[in-house]
Amino acid sequence: MRRHIIGSVVLGVTAAVFALNAWMHTFATIQDKGYQIGNVFICAVVFIVAFIDGVIEGIMRRVETRSYFMATALAAVLVAAISIVGTRYRINATKHYLAKTYATLAANGPPFPSELPDLVHGTSIDLISHGYWVAEDRKLFEVYYHDGSDSFTKVYPTGQWDWRSNKYAGPDSEHE
C-alpha cells in the first residue's frame, strides 16, 4: 500500500486544484459559461477514457491501475458537477435576493431609492452579476441579473421576470 501513497496524493491534489478552478468559474458571465461548457466536455472525455481503461484493467486483473482509473473517472464527474451546481446556486441566490429586494421596494412604494439596498443576509460572493435601475423621477425601478449572455429583469409594477438581451443594464443602456 505504501507504494500508492504518492500516486494517491498526486491524484487527490490534482482533483482538488481542478475542483477549485471549476468553483472559481461559477459566476455565470459569458466567459464563465464558455469555461463551464469546455470544463464539462473535458470532464466527460476524461470520464469516458478513464472508465473504459478501468474496465479493461479490471478484466486484465490489474487491480492497482484499475483503481487509479476509476478514481480519475470519479474525480472527473465531481469536477464537472461543481461548475454546474455552483452556477445554479449563484443564479438561484441572486434571483432570491433580487425578488426579496423587489418585494420590499414595491411594498414601500415610490419614491424608490437611487441605489440598490445592501445585502442583509448572506455574502455578496454568492451573487452573480446583477443590478438596479431607477427612473429619474424615482417612480419606476427594475432589478436585473445576467446569466451568461442573457439578462433577466423584474420591472415595477408588473413584478414578473422577463428576458432582456445581452449586457442589459436598464432601459437607458446600450445592449444587444
Cell matching residue 118: 445592501
Q: For residue 5, name the pLDDT band (cuts at 50, 70, 90).
A: confident
Q: What is the pLDDT of residue 138?
A: 86
pLDDT in tens, 152-173: 889 888 888 888 877 777 777 6
Pairs from 139-143 (Cβ < 8 Å, separation ≥ 24): 139/110, 139/111, 139/112, 140/110, 140/112, 141/105, 141/112, 142/170, 142/171, 143/98, 143/101, 143/102, 143/116
pLDDT in tens, 84-132: 888 888 888 888 888 888 988 888 888 888 887 766 555 666 677 788 8
Task: Say how many residues make up the chain.
Answer: 176
Contact between 143 and 132 (Cβ < 8 Å): yes
Q: What is the pLDDT of residue 2?
A: 64
The beta strand positions in 88-165, using DSSP E, are 130-134, 141-147, 150-155, 161-163
Please indicate whether residue 15 or residue 121 has the higher confidence score (pLDDT). Answer: 15
Contact between 127 and 90 (Cβ < 8 Å): yes
pLDDT(3) > 70: no
Residue type, 14: T
Cα–Cα dist 162/164, whole Å = 6
Q: What is the pLDDT of residue 11?
A: 77
